[in-house]
Amino acid sequence: MLNYIWGFLVIISIVCGFATGKIDGVTNALFDGSNGAVTTVLSFSGAVVMWCGMLKIAEKSGLTKVFAKLIRPLTRVLFPRLDKNSPALAAISMNMLANILGLANAATPLGLKAMNELDRINPKKGTASNEMCMFVVLNTASIQLIPSTLIAIRSSLGSQNPSEIIVPVWITSVITAFCACALTSVYASAGRRRL
C-alpha cells in the first residue's frame, strides 16, 4: 500500500512541476533527496556495523547475560513467558541499556536482533506475540538517562544550556514508559491471547 502512496506522490509532483513550469525544482529535489538518502544510509550503516560488532563482543564475553541478570526482575514482569536463558531476553536487555543511555544507533541493531529472536520463538508466525508488542512499546517509550540526540540538536542550534532538558526528559520518559507498559499488559491480559 505504501508503494502506491509514494508512487502517487511522485506522479503528482511531476505533473504539478510540469503544470506550473517548475520541473527544474522537481528534478533538483529528486537528486537532493537521493543524495541525502545515500548519505544517511552510509552514515547509519557504519554505526550499525560498529554496534553489531560490539554486541558480538558483549555476547562472547558474557556481558549480555550479566546485564540480563541485573534487570531480570523487570524483564520477568514485562516478559513473563520468556525463558530466563532466552537469547531474546539478552538482546532485549542490551536494547534497554542502549535506550537508557540514549545510544539510538546502538539500540537499533539490538532491537532488530531482539525482534528476530522473538519472531523465532513465536508459535504463530505472521502474528505479533504479546512479547513482541511489549518490546515495541518498551522500545518506543523507553526511559532515557542521557537524551544525547536532543542535547546534540539543542547544541547545534545554539542553545546556551543544551542539557537543561535532562530532568524533564527523565520525568516524561518514566511516566510514558510506565503508562505504555501498563496499558499493554492490561490489554494483553484482558482475555486476549495475542494483542
Residue 55: per-residue pLDDT? 72
Return d(Cα 104, Cα 86) in angstroms, integer.
23
pTM for this prediction: 0.67
Return d(Cα 176, Cα 143) in angstroms, integer.
8
Main-chain dihedrals φ then ψ at residue 43, nearest 5 degrees? -70, -40
- Assess whether pLDDT exceeds 70 at residue 142: yes
Torsion angle, alpha carbons of 150, 151, 152, 155, to 10: 120
6 in the Ramachandran plot: left (φ > 0), alpha (ψ -120 to 50) or beta? alpha
Q: What is the pLDDT of residues 51-102, one digit of tens each?
A: 677 777 877 888 877 887 888 888 888 888 888 788 888 888 888 888 887 7
Residue 179: per-residue pLDDT? 94
Residue 164: per-residue pLDDT? 92
- Assess whether pLDDT exceeds 60 at residue 194: no
Average pLDDT of the segment spanning 24-43: 82
Residue 135: per-residue pLDDT? 93
Residue 76: per-residue pLDDT? 86
